[in-house]
Structure 1
Amino acid sequence: MKVLIAIDSFKESISSIKGSEAISKGIKEVYQDSEIVTLPLADGGEGTVDSLVHATEGQLIKMKVTGPLNEKLEAIYGILGDDKTAVIEVASACGLPLIPEKYRNPLLTTTYGVGELISDALDKGCNNFVIGLGGSATNDAGVGMLRALGFHFMDRHNNEVGFGGKVLEDIHKINTEYVNPRLEGCVFNVACDVNNLLYGTEGAAYIFGPQKGASEDMVKELDTGLKHFAHVVLRDLGQDIHNIKGAGAAGGLGAAFYGFLNANLQSGIELILDHIGMKAHMQGADFVITGEGKMDGQTSMGKAPLGVAQMAKKNNIPVIALAGGVTDETSELNELGVTSYFSITSAPMSLEEAMTWKTTYNNLQSTSKQLFRLIRASR
């Protein structure tokens, strides 16, 4: 028997790698000689680096970068097994969890560290990039990242502007003379699962600014800055960075990658499944197991388990989905490729207890064992 395990992390509980290990142990207790392939998943957000590095037998790179409040911190990115592809989660360098809540202020936060990660990967010979957007604490339209890559943004007095969303209104001219020459010919594939434009009531500032610490007045200031910046980019570079689906992702990083680095913005799960070779690994599988911490209506809107299930359905492979919790909306997944789904919660307990690493691990192992006992009996 061949079983493919492709689960997302159970957020704040267990990583996709350790969760896959638990499921594998449960199956092996029933089918000792089974062939088990584990492909830890992510959808472009948290866990993307680990997922792709694990699947391609790549390596993790740790380095000091400039954090969102201009402080030094350690960030991690991955170089895949081909030695030419770097995978970066922007949250590693400018993520919201890096800043205590009382210090969150998108007028000040910068994406400079993301550019430092890209520069380091360029120095190591990478020319292909997979970028996971999401979870940023910034609203600087990627200006910080671009500065780290050699772009210069000048004010009316021909002085370079500072950092953070507050400087966008001050930008008068863009100088591309000193851009890192290694960027030429590079390919950037960006995992982006939001459709927000750069500015306006559905743009980066209005939709995502408040969760990053922006007051009502800050939101208006940030939005004005984004609109001004888009006009300067259109004038100086001939690039429309506003009317692009996903431009407003990660505080405008989507716009920066598209307009300055010619990036492809695409569905996160489709990008990840392609890079880990999911289709090839699925060949010959008798069962596919997928899952995440909570399965609900959001799961059916393009999250990782759905992508796996839809691919398996095309190959007529039964799909078992496991989750810490399921809702009534989860039944929609039965029409989209999930054969059966199960909650792994084994007894009444508090949410805090259920989400501990040890409890989740044991429940995944136990549930998998019982499911495959049933499968063996039915055969």
Structure 2
Amino acid sequence: MRIVVAPDSFKGTATAAAVAGAIRDGWLTERPTDDVVLVPMADGGEGTLDAFETAVPGAVRVPVMVTGPAGTPVQASWLRLPDGRAVVELAATSGLPLLDELLPETATSRGFGEAIAAALDAGATGLVLGIGGSASTDGGAPVLEALGLQSDGSGLRALPPLGVTVLTDVTSPLLGPDGAAAVFGPQKGITPDRVATVDERLAAWAARFPHVDPTTPGAGAAGGVGFGLLVWGATLARGADGVAEVLGLPGLLRGADVVITGEGRFDGQSAAGKVPSVVRALAAAVAPDARPMLVAGAIEAPLDDYAAAASLTVLATQTTGEPDDALADPLRFATIAGVRLARMAG
């Protein structure tokens, strides 16, 4: 049988590539002659670079030193694709995990712009930008400054020939009660009494670019980096859909007998454009006879769309009696999940 394994990362515990590999190892233990194809997925946040690196033969990581979110240097990398495009992940250059403490007023997205500039300087002919996991709420101004923007609005470097695709699963506008400061500011340390002030700062920044609509869905992504990239002329795409398209997932799904997807927590939000829902929909369209299966750290929503599923928390409880072991050693239980699902496949 042909098995396609296309999970998201299990946030904070394991990358999509590692989870996919563990599921494959378990599956092949039970069914060693099956053809198992790995397509680790992402939604534009942490793990986007890893997903592309694993799924695209010939992709090469290029190291780069950039300004981290705290203003100090951090070692990061961008990914060169064989077609000449580059993948740059904001979480790896300007993300929350890079901070020792929250910096609601001073965290910067500049390093993301520096990594983009480095990729362009190295000859990238197009860009795929993942903007999840931002530590800042600066409207993307430092990104554009790193790309040459001057105070008078001139100097911004041209888009590469193949354009710029921005991957995000956020549809918030830049401003207002559903905007960057109000919705995502608290997780970055912005206190309720400071939300209005930060929103006003973003409004003043947006007013410099009357040709760009700050109500555009996704303009508020990554603390407003989405808006900054719209100013540059980039195209926003729903994260998991965009990753699937760039990875060629529809073509890889054709002829599959089983399609396995997953994420850390499968819940009521999973149907709203998260990786499992995107993979499931694509499989239904191009491989309608394939059996859909799910692996998740925890399963908290109905499984009506899946032929079989495995919860790492349940497997840990059954194996060690300690459900928290699923968080401590997710790959062990993802491997067990692969074995279980292979047995269910018959």
TM-score (norm 2): 0.93
Identity %: 34
Partner of 1:175: helix, strand, or coil?
Answer: coil
Q: CA deviation at 1:290?
A: 0.9
What do the CA deviations read for 1:50-76 (whole angstroms, capped 9, x no partner)?
A: 101211120112211011121111112
The answer to whether the aligner puts 1:228 opposite 2:204 as a matched pair is yes
Partner of 1:288: helix, strand, or coil?
Answer: strand
**Candidates 164, 170, 173, aligned match of 1:188:** 164
Aligned to 1:67: 68
Aligned to 1:367: 337
Task: Give, in whole Å, the separation in 1 of the partners of 2:174 and 2:225.
Answer: 9
What do the CA deviations read for 1:267-287 (whole angstroms, capped 9, x no partner)?
A: 111100011111111111111
Kept after mapping to 2: 8 A contact 1:107/1:218:
no
Q: Which amino acid aligns with 1:342?
A: A
Q: CA deviation at 1:13?
A: 2.1
Aligned to 1:150: 148
Partner of 1:273: helix, strand, or coil?
Answer: helix
The answer to whether the aligner puts 1:356 opposite 2:325 as a matched pair is no
Task: Give, in whole Å, the separation in 2 of the partners of 1:371 and 1:150.
Answer: 52
Kept after mapping to 1: 8 A contact 2:43/2:239:
yes
Task: Give, in whole Å, the separation in 2 of the partners of 1:48 and 1:217.
Answer: 34
Aligned to 1:339: 307
Kept after mapping to 2: 8 A contact 1:198/1:247:
yes
Aligned to 2:253: 282
Task: Give, in whole Å, the separation in 1 of the partners of 2:128 and 2:173.
Answer: 21
Q: CA deviation at 1:346?
A: 2.1
Q: Which moved more, 1:67-76 or 1:263-272?
A: 67-76
**Candidates 298, 306, 313, aligned match of 2:269:** 298
Aligned to 2:218: 246
Partner of 1:88: helix, strand, or coil?
Answer: strand
Task: Give, in whole Å, the separation in 2 of the partners of 1:20 and 1:312.
Answer: 17
Task: Give, in whole Å, the separation in 2 of the partners of 1:96 and 1:310.
Answer: 31
Task: Give, in whole Å, the separation in 2 of the partners of 1:50 and 1:186.
Answer: 22
Kept after mapping to 1: 8 A contact 2:316/2:324:
no
What do the CA deviations read for 1:286-325 (whole angstroms, capped 9, x no partner)?
A: 1111111221111111110111111111221110101121
Partner of 1:342: helix, strand, or coil?
Answer: strand
Q: Which amino acid aligns with 2:315?
A: S
Kept after mapping to 2: 8 A contact 1:241/1:256:
no
Task: Give, in whole Å, the separation in 2 of the partners of 1:225 and 1:66.
Answer: 22
Task: Give, in whole Å, the separation in 2 of the partners of 1:211 and 1:149.
Answer: 27
Kept after mapping to 1: 8 A contact 2:310/2:341:
no
Write out aligned runs for 1:149-228 (5 A).
149-153=147-151, 174-176=152-154, 178-181=155-158, 183=159, 185-228=161-204
What do the CA deviations read for 1:20-43 (whole angstroms, capped 9, x no partner)?
A: 222212222222211111111111
Aligned to 1:167: none
> Unaligned stretches of 5+ in structure 2?
none
Aligned to 1:89: 89
Task: Give, in whole Å, the separation in 1 of the partners of 2:316 and 2:219.
Answer: 44
Task: Give, in whole Å, the separation in 1 of the partners of 2:76 and 2:163.
Answer: 22
| Alignment: residue pair count | 339
**Candidates 285, 294, 304, aligned match of 1:321:** 294
Partner of 2:294: helix, strand, or coil?
Answer: strand
Q: CA deviation at 1:145?
A: 0.8
Partner of 2:271: helix, strand, or coil?
Answer: helix
Return closer, same or farther for 1:149/1:356 CA change in 2, 3 Å cut-off. Answer: same
Return closer, same or farther for 1:175/1:355 CA change in 2, 3 Å cut-off. Answer: same
Q: CA deviation at 1:12?
A: 2.2
Task: Give, in whole Å, the separation in 1 of the partners of 2:32 and 2:175.
Answer: 56
Kept after mapping to 1: 8 A contact 2:45/2:168:
no
Task: Give, in whole Å, the separation in 1 of the partners of 2:110 and 2:82.
Answer: 27
Task: Give, in whole Å, the separation in 2 of the partners of 1:227 and 1:297.
Answer: 33
Larger radius of gyration: 1
> Unaligned stretches of 5+ in structure 1?
154-173
